Structures are given as C-alpha cells and as structure tokens.
C-alpha cells in the first residue's frame, strides 16, 4: 500500500468515526429514535500481554464485568470517543503529511513522462 492509500484509509477511518458519533444529531430517524449508546449491545475486550513465567500464559482478557462497567461509563460520557476521534484526525493529518515526498516523486515521474 502506498502512502496515499494509507492516507485515504486514515481519512475513511476518521470519517466513519465522526459519522457514527453524529448519529444522535441525524435528521434521518425513525419514530424519534435517539441513537443512544447501548452498553447491553456493545462489545469491548481489552487484552494484557505478558508472562509470569517461561511457558506461562501470554494473553490476559479483561473480565466481562469490567468490560460492562467501561461500556457504561463510555455510554454516559462520550469523552473517550471524542478523544479517539481526535486521535484519528491526528493519524489522518500525519498520513497526509507523509504523502508529500511520495507526491513529489509522482510529480517528477509525470513531468518525465510528459517530456518523453
């Protein structure tokens, strides 16, 4: 995947996240649907990686009760989601900046193709 394709992927990730977050403000609602977050229907799984001893367990899943509590907190306060969207925006920005050198190479190749 070239740098521009990586940028487009980052842009799509940010766009999708913003659209999902904006669902409550959507004008396209059936029967006054509120688009509230539903911890009962959400999924979350956190993983810790590490070993206590040679040959021991490597991956440690978060307990389902902790996952449910975290989802409830996120449903009440979207700060984590907004912070994640900001992170996606920054990733998109960095991916676009990374296209600069690649773009210069493409422009040079285009100029060379025009002159031959």
Query: pLDDT per residue over 56-94, tens digit each?
Result: 889 999 999 999 999 999 999 989 999 999 999 999 999
Total domains present in the chain:
1
Residue 101 lies in a domain: yes
- Backbone region of residue 32 per phi and psi (left: phi > 0; alpha: psi in -120 to 50; beta: other values): left
Q: Which domain holds residue 93?
A: 1-21+78-116
Reported as type and span, the H/E element at residue 92 is helix 79-97
Residue 97 lies in a domain: yes
Residue 57 lies in a domain: no
pLDDT > 90 in the chain, percent: 62
Q: Is a pLDDT exceeding 80 seen at residue 98?
A: yes
* CB contact at 8 A, 78 and 35: no
pLDDT at 64: 93
Place of tokens 């740098």: 3
pLDDT at 32: 66
pLDDT at 31: 66
pTM: predicted TM-score of the whole model, two decimal places:
0.76
Residue 7 lies in a domain: yes
Q: Is a pLDDT exceeding 70 seen at residue 96?
A: yes
Q: Is a pLDDT exceeding 70 seen at residue 19?
A: yes
Q: Is a pLDDT exceeding 90 seen at residue 15?
A: yes
* Average pLDDT for the chain: 90
Q: How many residues does the chain have?
A: 116
Residue 99 lies in a domain: yes
Residue 50 lies in a domain: no
* DSSP 8-state symbol, 61: E
Which burial class, exposed, middle or buried, applies to 52 when counting CB atoms under 10 A from its CB (0-12, 13-18, 19+)?
exposed
Residue 59 lies in a domain: no
């Amino acid at each position: 995947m070239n740098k521009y394709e990586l940028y487009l992927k980052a842009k799509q990730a940010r766009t999708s996240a913003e659209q999902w977050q904006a669902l409550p403000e959507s004008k396209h609602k059936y029967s006054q649907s509120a688009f509230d977050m539903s911890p009962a229907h959400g999924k979350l799984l956190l993983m810790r990686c590490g070993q206590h001893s040679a040959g021991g367990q490597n991956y440690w899943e978060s307990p389902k009760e902790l996952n449910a509590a975290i989802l409830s907190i996120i449903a009440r306060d979207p700060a984590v989601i907004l912070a994640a969207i900001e992170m996606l925006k920054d990733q998109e920005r960095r991916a676009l900046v990374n296209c600069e050198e690649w773009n210069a190479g493409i422009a040079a190749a285009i100029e060379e193709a025009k002159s031959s």
